[in-house]
Structure 1
Amino acid sequence: MINKMINRVIIITFCLAGIGASYAQPHKEKSQSNTVATPADTAKKPAKVKVRPYKDVVTADAITTKGLITIHKIDDRYLFEIPYAIFNKDLLIMSRIAAASADMRIGRGGDGYAGDPIGGTIIQFEKGPANKLFIRKMSYSEYSKDSTQAMYASVKRNTMQPIVAAFPIAAYKPDSTAVVVDMTDYINSDNDLFYFGSAIQKQLLHIGNQQNDRSYVKYAHTFPTNVELRTIKTYAMAGTTMSGGFTMELNTSMVLLPEKPMKARMYDPRVGYFTTDYTDYDANPQGVKTASLINRWRLEPKPEDLEKYKRGELVEPQKPIVFYIDPTTPKKWIPYLIQGVNDWNAAFEQAGFKNAISARLAPTPEEDPSFDLEDARHSAIIYKPSTMSNASGPSIADPRTGEIIESHINWYHNVMKLIHNWYMIQCGAVDPRARKMEFDDDLMGQLIRFVSSHEVGHTLGLRHNFGASAMVPVEKLRDKAYVEANGHTPSIMDYARFNYVAQPEDHISEAGLFPRIGDYDKWAIEWGYKYYDEFKTPEEEVPFLNKLTIEKLKNKRLLFGTEIGTNDPRYQNEDLGENAMIASEYGIKNLKRILPQLIEWTKTPNEGYDNLKDMYTALNAQFDRYLVHVMKNIAGVYTTAKTSDQPGDVFERVPASRQREAMKFLDRNVFTTPIWMYNAEVLNRTGQSFMTITAERQEGVIQYLIGKYRMTRMIEAEASGDKDVYTITEFFKDLNYGIDKELYTHQPIDVYRRNLQKSYVENLISIIKPPAAMPYFGAADSPNGPPSQSDNAPLKSQSSDMSSVIKSQLHYQQKLIKADLPFVKDEMTRSHLLDLNDRITEALSVK
C-alpha cells in the first residue's frame, strides 16, 4: 500500500502436524441408513436417510460439468461429486467481493469494493462414519515434521483439526471413486467458510443477517484444479442508523494446493519479505522456535533448462507470473500499468529468469467465455471507482511454504489526486509540468507507472524498505549525472516519492526525480527467487544465503530498513538522503519557491478555491514531514540487523553531533516562527488560520521532543559512560534557548512565541501531572503514527530521574520569568509571563 503499510497481505497460517487420516475404503453402491448432517449446529437428533443408487441421484436431466470436482446441476440444486483422490488433501478457500454495494462502504472508504478479499482458509475433505462427508478446517501454525520422534505424535495429538461441516452422502459413484453430496443449502447459507470469514469484517461493513429469500446461487463452475462459486447475497444493514439492506455478488474459489509443495526459503531480517510463520518444535532441541518462511511465487527453471540456468544463462520459468488488467480501467492508463509490471523483469534477470513477469489486458467474454477475474487462478490489477487516495498489493500465500498463489492489486481511482499533490509540492519548483491541477496524460501515466511498480513489488513478497533512501549522500541528489543514472533511492519499495532535494539550478530531468526499480530491489529479488537445486531443504540453504548476504551488504545501497516500530532515523517514510537536516533545508527552499505560485497554479475557471486550500494543506503536510524526519534523530538509535558472523554493533546511538544539528534545525525552522508560510492572499482565499496551524505544529514538536521515550533514552545514554552523548541537560539547555530567547534578551514576545512558550510549559506540567489523553503530531501516513502510550504515560515511580529533570525545568522557567519581568515594558508580554509563573507555581504545589 503506498500510503500506509497496509499490510493487507493475507497469510493463512496452519499446522504441518495436521490430521493425516487415510482414505476411507471405497463403498459399493447400496442403500444404507445415514444421519442427516446440516451445516449449522443443531441440538436435535438427526433424522435417518438412505443412500440411494447413483442413477437415482444424478438423474438424466442433470447438467454435468467435469473438473477438480464434478458438478451436477439439477433444477436449482448443486450436487458435488467429490473424488476420493482429493480426500485429505489441502484445498485453499478464497472468497472475494465480485460486485459491491455502495451502502456497505459508509464510513469505510477503502473497503467494500469488487475484488476485496473477505475470507480465506484451508480445508480437507474426509470420509466420516455412517456415510458422512466431513470438511475439516486445517491449521498449520504448529509444526513437527519428524514423524519418527515422540514430539511429532505429541504435537499431532494436541493440534486436532476441527470438523466445520458435515454432509450426508447421497450416492456413491458406480466405480467407487467418488461420493456425491448436495451442497446447495450450504452454499446458500451465511457461513464463514465460503464467505465472510470474520465477524469483525462484517461489522465494519455494516453486514447483518443474510436475507435468505433474496439470496441464491448464481453458478458453480469447475476446472482442473479449482472450483468457482458465484452467489448473490442480500444482507440486512447493521450497526448504522440507516435501515434496509444491500445486495452483493460474492465469489468463492476452492483451489487444490500443489501436491508437491514448493521448497520454502527461511526469512532473513536483512532482506525485507512478508512471511508465513509457524511454531517449530523440531528446530530447537531444548526449546521452541518461531520460524518464518518468505512469501514468494514459485519460479523454477524448466527441467530441460536447468543446466543452462546453472551456467548463468537466462531461462524462462516453468510458470511465469501474469497479471491481468481489469477491463474497466480507463484505457489511457492501461499501458502505464502494464509497464509498471513489466519493469520487474530487470530484477528477475538478476535472479536468472527472463520474461518472468508480465501484464496483459483481461480477455473479453468473446475471447474466453470461461475467464473470470475473481478466479483464484488469475492475478489481476483491479480498478476501483473510489474516493480513497491509495493503492495496495495484497497476495494469498500457501501457508505450508509461503508460495504466493495469487494477488489482486487494488487500484483506487483517487490515487491520482494523491500522486498529483505529492508531485506538485515536491517537484513543482523544478518541473514546469507539475504547475497545474490537471497533469498531461504522459506525466500522470509515468506517475501511475511508478505506483504500479511499487504495488507489484508487494505482490512479489517485498515489504517496504524505508532505509534505502538514507543510503544516498544528500549532495548526490543534486548531482544530475549521478541521480539520473542511479535514481534518488536504491529501492522503489521505499516511501521516497520524488526528489524534493533537487534545486531549479540543478536542471535534473524526470529520470532523476522519479522512483524506479533500483539496486536493492534487484538484490532482494535475487535473494528470494534465485533457484538452488543443490540444497534439498530450506535449512540447508541458510548458511549459504547468510554468507552471500554478508558479502552483498558491504554495498550500503543494499541495506534493508524495516518500516515496523523502529526508532532509527534512517528508517522513515517520505525522507531522502543520509542527513535529514540538510535534505529538509533543501526541501524548505523549494516550498518557499512554490507557496507564492499556488494561487496561479491551482486556478480553475468557474470554480472557487478548494484546489488552493488542498494544495496549501499539502504544502503544510510536506513541511511537517521534514520536521518529523529531523526530530527522529534526537535520542535516536541506529538498528542494523546482523548475524553473529558479522562485525559491529546492532544498536548504535545517533552521534551527539547529529542530535545537536537536529536541535539547531528545529530552532531555525519551528521555534523561530516560520513566517514565510504566512501568505495573506492564500489565507484570505481559503479561510485557514496561520496562527492555528503554527500553534498546532509547535505543540506537536514539543510533545514529540519531551516524550517519555526520548528523555529515558537520553538518561540511559548519559548513564552508559560513553563520551559521545547528547545529555538530557544539554538537550534542555538547547530547547530552553530556542523557546525562551526573549527571556534571555529581554525583548517583547509576539503572539506566536507566546503560544509556543505556553505550550512548552503546559507540556512540562503534563508530565508530572498528566491529562487523561494527549494529541499526537505527525502526518497521517507517518510510520510513527500516534506516540505509544509509554511516551505520554504518567511516571510510575518517583525514583525516576525524569521527574527530577522536569521539575528542575519548571523551576528554571520560573527563574527566567522572574529575571525578565523587571525589564518588561510590553503589557501583553507581562501578562503572559505572570500567567506562566502562576501555572508553574500551581503545578509544583500539587502533591
Structure 2
Amino acid sequence: MKKKILLLAAMVVASSTTIDAQRKFPFFWKKKKAKTEQTTPAKKESEYDKLFKKKHEIAKGLITLHLLDGKVYFELPVDLINKDMLIGSTVTSISDNGNAVVGSKPTDLLHVVFTRNKTHVQLRQVNTDYITGNTQIDEALRKSTLGAILSNQKIQAYNNDSTAIVFDMSSVFLGDNKKMSPFDRNSIYGMYNRTENYQSDCSYISQIKAFKDNVSIKSCLSYTFSVSNSQGASLIKDRPFTAEMTRSIMLLKEKPYRPRMADYRIGVFFTGREQLGEGAKTTAPVYYANRWDIQPSDTAAYLRGEKVKPTKQIVFYIDNTFPEKWKPYLREGVTQWNELFEQIGFKDVVAAKDFPTDDPEFDPDNIKYSCVRYAPSSIENAMGPSWVDPRSGEILNASVYLYHNVI
C-alpha cells in the first residue's frame, strides 16, 4: 500500500514538474502538428464544359442541338458519321407570297452524310446518279462519285464521354445557301427574271427542335429582291423580303427498300439513275417508281385475298387555315384514294386529319408530316410534290398546296 502511495506521489510530482517546465521553457516543447486533411485536386474543366458554361437552349434527340449566342452547335453522335441522311427545307412564314407560299418546299432534298478528319467535320452531298451490280465497277464508281463538301466545320469539342462531336453549323442554316433557298421557281415572281441579295444583319436562327428520328432548325432569313420581265424592264426594285425557313434533317433507313422500276405507260413520278453495264453493254437509263412503302399488317390474310390494313397508315394533315366550307371536300379528296388501294388488297391506307392542337411534337413544316396546305394566292392551280429516298424512290413525305384561286 505504501508503495502505491509513493508511486502516485511521484507521478503527481513528475506531472507538475513537466507543466512547470513548459511554462518556464516553452521553446523546448513543440506541439505535435495537426494531421492535414487529404484534399482532392480540382477536376480540370473540359473544352465541352467551357463551351457550354453559359445558360442556353438545348434540344436533345437524333442530334443534340445547342442554340448559344445566336449560333447553332451540333452535338453529333460518333455512330452517325457516314450515315445516310436527308435535309429538307420548308417555308414556315413569309413576307411576300409572290416568292413562295407557306408550306412550300422550294428546293430539292439534299442527300448528305457527315464525315470527319482529325480537326474538322464535313457535310457532304451524296452522289447517287449511277448504279451498278459489279464489284469492280462499284470500286471505280466510289472513287468517281466522292461526296462534294458543302460545309467543313472545325471540331470545337467532344462531349464528356467522347461519344459525340461538337461543331458550329450556323453558316449552313444562317446564310445565303442556294441549296436551301426560300425562293420558289414556281411562284408568281419565279415566272420572271428575279435576283436576290442576302441581308445577313437582318437574319437569325429562331428555334431548334429535336426528335428521336430527326431534328429541325428554324431560320429567319432576310433579302432584297428585284424582278424584271423578259425585255429587261424593271417590275420590282430592291424590295425587302423575309422568310422563316424550317430545315429538317432525317436519318434514312440503314437498308433502303427494294426499288420498283417505273413503267412509262403508268403516270407516276420517278427517280432517274444511270445503270453501268458490263463488257460491251452501254450505260442505260433506269427509273425507280416513286411509291409509298405499304406493307400488309397480316401477310397470311393478304395472301389469302383478304383486305388488310397496312402496318403504317399514310396520314395527310389538313391545314387549319383553310376556309371551313372547303374542309369536308378536302378530306373526301384524300380518302377517295382508299378505293384504289382496296383493289390491291388494302383497306384504310390513307387518312385525313386536322392539324392536331394537343400534340406538342406536331409541326407541319417538319419532314415527317405530310400536309395539305392553303395558299392565299391568286395562282389558279394546285401542286403535289413529294420527297423520296433517292436510293430507292420510297416516298417519305408528300405535300399538297391549294392556291386560293384554284376554285
**TM-score over 0.5 for the alignment?**
yes
> What are structure 1's unaligned runs of at least 5 residues?
1-30, 32-50, 106-110, 417-847
The match for 2:305 is 312
Deviation at 1:198, TM superposition (A): 8.9
Return the match for 1:64 from 50, 54, 58.
58
Distance (Å, rounded) in 1 between the aligned partners of 2:128 and 2:176 = 25
Distance (Å, rounded) in 1 between the aligned partners of 2:376 and 2:57 = 37
Distance (Å, rounded) in 1 between the aligned partners of 2:157 and 2:203 = 27
Deviation at 1:145, TM superposition (A): 3.5
Distance (Å, rounded) in 1 between the aligned partners of 2:167 and 2:128 = 27
Amino acid at match of 1:54: Y
The match for 1:372 is 363
Write out aligned runs for 1:740-759 (5 A): none
The match for 1:126 is 115
SS at match of 1:170: strand
* Structural RMSD (CA): 2.4
Structure 1 or 2: more strand by fraction: 2
The match for 2:222 is 234
**2:69 is equivalent to residue 83 of structure 1:** no
The match for 2:406 is 415
The match for 1:734 is none
Write out aligned runs for 1:249-268 (5 A): 249-268=244-263
Paired positions, count: 354
Return the match for 1:245 from 235, 240, 247.
240
**2:296 is equivalent to residue 301 of structure 1:** yes
Amino acid at match of 1:381: V
Deviation at 1:249, TM superposition (A): 1.2
State the TM-score, normalized to the length of structure 2. Answer: 0.81
**2:406 is equivalent to residue 401 of structure 1:** no
Write out aligned runs for 1:505-544 (5 A): none
**2:378 is equivalent to residue 387 of structure 1:** yes
Return the match for 2:93 from 90, 94, 99.
99
Deviation at 1:200, TM superposition (A): 11
SS at match of 1:345: helix
Deviation at 1:199, TM superposition (A): 9.5
SS at match of 1:140: coil
Deviation at 1:207, TM superposition (A): 4.8
SS at match of 2:216: strand
SS at match of 1:308: helix
Provide, for residues 223-253 of structure 1, a one-character-per-residue CA deviation record: whole Å limited to 9, x for no partner: 1111111111110122444333111211211
240-249 or 307-316: which moved more? 240-249
**2:153 is equivalent to residue 153 of structure 1:** no
Contact 1:195–1:252 (CA under 8 A) maintained in structure 2: no
Provide, for residues 508-550 of structure 1, a one-character-per-residue CA deviation record: whole Å limited to 9, x for no partner: xxxxxxxxxxxxxxxxxxxxxxxxxxxxxxxxxxxxxxxxxxx
Deviation at 1:327, TM superposition (A): 0.6
Write out aligned runs for 1:331-346 (5 A): 331-346=324-339
The match for 2:15 is none
Deviation at 1:55, TM superposition (A): 1.5
Contact 2:382–2:403 (CA under 8 A) maintained in structure 1: yes
Provide, for residues 256-305 of structure 1, a one-character-per-residue CA deviation record: whole Å limited to 9, x for no partner: 12222121111122322211110111478622111111000111123xx2
**2:216 is equivalent to residue 192 of structure 1:** no
**2:164 is equivalent to residue 169 of structure 1:** no
Contact 1:278–1:292 (CA under 8 A) maintained in structure 2: yes
The match for 2:41 is none
Provide, for residues 105-164 of structure 1, a one-character-per-residue CA deviation record: whole Å limited to 9, x for no partner: 2xxxxx621122122211110012x310001111201112433xx222222222222112
Write out aligned runs for 1:765-844 (5 A): none
SS at match of 1:206: strand
SS at match of 2:106: strand
SS at match of 1:371: coil
Distance (Å, rounded) in 2 between the aligned partners of 1:209 and 1:243 = 8
Deviation at 1:194, TM superposition (A): 3.6
SS at match of 2:282: coil
Contact 2:46–2:160 (CA under 8 A) maintained in structure 1: no
**2:107 is equivalent to residue 113 of structure 1:** no
Distance (Å, rounded) in 1 between the aligned partners of 2:320 and 2:186 = 32
Distance (Å, rounded) in 1 between the aligned partners of 2:327 and 2:170 = 39
- Compared CA separation, residues 251 and 205, structure 1 to 2 (3 A): farther
Amino acid at match of 1:132: H
Distance (Å, rounded) in 2 between the aligned partners of 1:91 and 1:222 = 15
Distance (Å, rounded) in 2 between the aligned partners of 1:392 and 1:197 = 16
Deviation at 1:390, TM superposition (A): 1.2
Deviation at 1:54, TM superposition (A): 1.8
Provide, for residues 555-584 of structure 1, a one-character-per-residue CA deviation record: whole Å limited to 9, x for no partner: xxxxxxxxxxxxxxxxxxxxxxxxxxxxxx
Contact 1:62–1:73 (CA under 8 A) maintained in structure 2: yes
State the TM-score, normalized to the length of structure 1. Answer: 0.40
Distance (Å, rounded) in 1 between the aligned partners of 2:288 and 2:258 = 10
**2:267 is equivalent to residue 272 of structure 1:** yes
Return the match for 1:143 from 125, 131, 137.
131
SS at match of 1:340: helix
- Compared CA separation, residues 313 and 60, structure 1 to 2 (3 A): farther
Write out aligned runs for 1:725-764 (5 A): none
Amino acid at match of 1:362: F
Contact 1:276–1:399 (CA under 8 A) maintained in structure 2: yes
Write out aligned runs for 1:570-649 (5 A): none
- Compared CA separation, residues 205 and 356, structure 1 to 2 (3 A): farther
**2:207 is equivalent to residue 219 of structure 1:** yes
Write out aligned runs for 1:700-739 (5 A): none
Return the match for 2:320 from 319, 327, 339.
327
Contact 2:106–2:185 (CA under 8 A) maintained in structure 1: no
Distance (Å, rounded) in 2 between the aligned partners of 1:59 and 1:377 = 33
Contact 1:112–1:205 (CA under 8 A) maintained in structure 2: no
SS at match of 1:351: coil
Deviation at 1:386, TM superposition (A): 1.2
Deviation at 1:101, TM superposition (A): 2.5
Distance (Å, rounded) in 2 between the aligned partners of 1:59 and 1:309 = 57
Amino acid at match of 1:245: P
Q: Which runs of 4+ in 1 moved over 4 A?
A: 196-205
SS at match of 2:178: coil
Distance (Å, rounded) in 1 between the aligned partners of 2:193 and 2:374 = 20
Contact 1:207–1:235 (CA under 8 A) maintained in structure 2: no
- Compared CA separation, residues 198 and 288, structure 1 to 2 (3 A): farther
Distance (Å, rounded) in 1 between the aligned partners of 2:57 and 2:389 = 33
Contact 1:78–1:184 (CA under 8 A) maintained in structure 2: yes
SS at match of 1:323: strand
Contact 1:391–1:409 (CA under 8 A) maintained in structure 2: yes
Provide, for residues 637-693 of structure 1, a one-character-per-residue CA deviation record: whole Å limited to 9, x for no partner: xxxxxxxxxxxxxxxxxxxxxxxxxxxxxxxxxxxxxxxxxxxxxxxxxxxxxxxxx
The match for 2:35 is none
Contact 1:192–1:198 (CA under 8 A) maintained in structure 2: no
SS at match of 1:333: helix
> What are structure 2's unaligned runs of at least 5 residues?
1-43, 228-233
Contact 1:69–1:222 (CA under 8 A) maintained in structure 2: yes
